[in-house]
Amino acid sequence: MEEKDKKIIEGEVVEETSTQNREEKIENKSYTKNSNRSFFASKFFLCICTFLIGAGIMYALIKISKNDVIVQNVSHQNIKTTTVEEISDLKTAINNVYESTVYIEVSGSRGSLSSGSGFVYKKENDISYILTNYHVIENGTKFVVTLTDGTILDAELVNGDEYYDIAVLKVKSDKIKKVATLGDSSNLELGDTVFTVGAPLGKEYMGTITKGIISGINRMVTVKLTSGSYLMEVIQTDASINSGNSGGPICNIKGEVIGITSSKLVGSGVEGMGFAIPINSVISIIENIESGKQIERPYLGVQLVDLTNTFALQYYYGISIGSDVEFGAVLSYIEKGKAADKAGLIIGDVIVEIDGEKVDDVSHFKYSLYKHSIGDKIKVKYYRNNKINETTIELTEAIKSE
């Protein structure tokens, strides 16, 4: 019994121990499971923290790097950047000339003829003088001037010159508030800022300002006149010039007049190309015009045809020119006893040079000739019978006014 009981007791003990072990194992498994969960959670949290810290460090490094690049770029720009300032405020310059500009209406025996712009350039005692284009006042008998403040004045034509395309009007001075200052067109350079004042398209838009630059200097353009074509030396600008601007001033950034605008020099369909007569060319003859004297231009007693007008030369005048001549003005008529005849020129001679200046065509011939005065002697080179010849012509006679 004792041994049996002991076994039983031991069995119970064993069973109890086994049960207890199972419970401990279950608890251990539960604990291990919980421990694993905690372990993984802590690992996950650590990873998140590490990621966030790493991201923060990377952001800081990138920002510092960018800031460093920006600083370097700014420093680099500060070293090499040059500041260029454009004089864009023309208010003072405009005020210097604005009140001197006028709108001109021209009438004839049959009513209104034309209109344009002009400007007061001189005040002498009780008379003020206005410059404008000749083609604005051409054939007119009555002239009315409107000032920028709306004042209307009757004007009188002093004189004009068709070739220079300038004319002078005069009005009483009591209503004139300002006189324009004439500048020096010989000082102009490409890219200089300029502006115009005028009345594009008529009275409704009088006092209009347009701005641009000097696009070309010493441009040569051909102008159609009632007496034929003529070559003019002009200033080119991209400032807008329209019908009605003719005769108005084009000014530098000081408000000094450096030219007279002319819409007659602008072809139809052309944009961004305006032209003006240099003020120095005007000044050279203004005294003669003011005094009412006719501008004297040399008369040679000839008629000329462009070398390129082969149809007229061959079929109308019966003149044949060798193919080796590429430019010049051909003599189609010579008046007996006049300057050209006395110098030995004959019909069919091709004028190619005057005083060392190349002559391209008839317009160029007139331009070169009209630079000279009565009494001057000029050297002329001409082509005849496949040979270049030279003669001297004495300018003894002026073109007679009609």
Structure tokens at 274: 């305006």
Furthest-apart CA atoms within the chain: distance in Å = 181
**Closest CA relative to residue 300, chosen from 183, 398, 176, 219:** 398
Whole-angstrom distance, CA of residue 205 vs CA of residue 216: 27
Q: Which residues, at least 6 apart from 294, have a Cβ–Cβ distance to it below 8 Å?
A: 288, 401
Helix, strand, coil percent content, the chain, rounded in steps of 5: 35, 35, 35
150 near 156, Cβ under 8 Å? no
Query: Bridge-partner residues for 389, per DSSP?
Result: 382
Considering 135, 161, 263, 332, which one is annotated as catalytic?
135
Phi, then psi, of 151 in degrees rounded to 5: -65, 135
Considering 165, 349, 360, 361, which one is annotated as catalytic?
165
Whole-angstrom distance, CA of residue 214 vs CA of residue 189: 7
**Closest CA relative to residue 243, chosen from 196, 212, 202, 194:** 202
Whole-angstrom distance, CA of residue 332 vs CA of residue 340: 12
Whole-angstrom distance, CA of residue 251 vs CA of residue 167: 19
188 near 217, Cβ under 8 Å? yes
Concerning whether 76 is annotated as a catalytic residue, the answer is no
Residue with tokens 């040059």: 82
Considering 246, 281, 363, 368, which one is annotated as catalytic?
246
Specify the 3-state DSSP secondary structure of 49.
Answer: helix
Whole-angstrom distance, CA of residue 396 vs CA of residue 375: 5
Concerning whether 372 is annotated as a catalytic residue, the answer is no
**Closest CA relative to residue 199, chosen from 114, 282, 266:** 114
Concerning whether 341 is annotated as a catalytic residue, the answer is no
Whole-angstrom distance, CA of residue 250 vs CA of residue 131: 12
Whole-angstrom distance, CA of residue 279 vs CA of residue 249: 9
Whole-angstrom distance, CA of residue 27 vs CA of residue 117: 112
194 near 250, Cβ under 8 Å? yes
Whole-angstrom distance, CA of residue 207 vs CA of residue 214: 21
The residues that are catalytic are 135, 165, 246
